[in-house]
């Protein structure tokens, strides 16, 4: 198996894009991401129209124990999330959200591959994805990962089985996490040096 992720379409440089696991402390950023989803993306993600109040409650109950989530950051901002819920159940469920501006550029495929690595490394042999029938992109990604698709009224259920983790999947996930930690450490150092020089970088970014 290749150690290199499949190529993706052009967009920001690779250095500006990274994926890492999300933790409870990421909830505020997760909510900000969900609130940036437009009506159509919310419908595709949650199966029906949902308002900001729903998303606020959802974010508060997510990223805890019993789940796994990966975040895709572009220029340090969370733009996409892959979630695996109820990982203790016989069939955990995966869900994906990408902000509209970043859809159709291969990021969903990258997130999907990263979630599969996470599931494999956590010894979770399968998961399912439920999506609306008109969600062609989601179905294409699932098919590409050899999922079995079942079409029911209004929705599609994709079941994905994968082998246990191996050296390549462990190395890919460890590299992602290591890159993210290095980036965070570099950011902290930069903010400290700037603060010592009397410059508040947070104000500059805002």
Ligand X SMILES: CC(C)(COP(=O)(O)OP(=O)(O)OC[C@H]1O[C@@H](n2cnc3c(N)ncnc32)[C@H](O)[C@@H]1OP(=O)(O)O)[C@@H](O)C(=O)NCCC(=O)NCCS
Write out the residues near ligand X by the rule CB under 6 A.
41, 44-45, 95-98, 103-109, 129, 131, 135-138, 140-141, 144
Give the end-to-end CA distance of the chain in Å, rounded to a whole number.
Answer: 42
Closer CB to ligand X, 139 or 169, in the complex: 139
Backbone φ, ψ for residue 78 (5° rounding):
-70, 115
Q: How far is the CB of 93 from ligand X (least distance, A)?
A: 9
Closer CB to ligand X, 5 or 105, in the complex: 105
Q: How far is the CB of 187 from ligand X (least distance, A)?
A: 26
Q: What is the DSSP string of 91-112?
A: S-EEEEEE-GGGTTSSHHHHHH
Q: How far is the CB of 75 from ligand X (least distance, A)?
A: 17
Q: What are residue 72's DSSP bridge partners?
A: 19, 80
Closer CB to ligand X, 140 or 181, in the complex: 140
- Interacting residues of 161 by C-beta distance below 8 A, sequence separation 6+: 125, 126, 148
Q: How far is the CB of 71 from ligand X (least distance, A)?
A: 13
Closer CB to ligand X, 136 or 195, in the complex: 136
């Amino acid at each position: 198996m290749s150690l290199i992720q499949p190529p993706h379409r052009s967009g920001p440089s690779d250095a500006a894009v990274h994926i890492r696991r999300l933790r409870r402390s990421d909830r505020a950023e997760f909510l900000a991401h969900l609130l940036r989803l437009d009506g159509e993306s919310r419908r595709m993600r949650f199966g029906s129209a949902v308002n900001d109040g729903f998303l606020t409650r959802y974010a508060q109950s997510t990223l805890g124990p019993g789940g796994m989530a990966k975040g895709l950051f572009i220029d340090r901002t969370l733009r996409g999330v892959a979630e695996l819920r109820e990982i203790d159940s016989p069939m955990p469920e995966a869900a994906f959200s990408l902000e509209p501006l970043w859809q159709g550029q291969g990021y969903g495929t990258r997130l999907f591959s990263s979630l599969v690595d996470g599931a494999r490394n956590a010894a979770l042999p399968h998961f399912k994805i439920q999506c609306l029938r008109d969600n062609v992109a989601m179905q294409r990604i699932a098919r590409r990962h050899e999922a079995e698709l079942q079409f029911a009224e209004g929705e599609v259920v994709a079941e994905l089985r994968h082998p246990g983790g191996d050296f390549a999947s462990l190395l890919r996930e460890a590299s992602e996490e290591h890159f993210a930690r290095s980036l965070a450490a570099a950011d902290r150092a930069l903010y400290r040096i700037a603060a010592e020089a009397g410059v508040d970088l947070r104000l500059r970014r805002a």
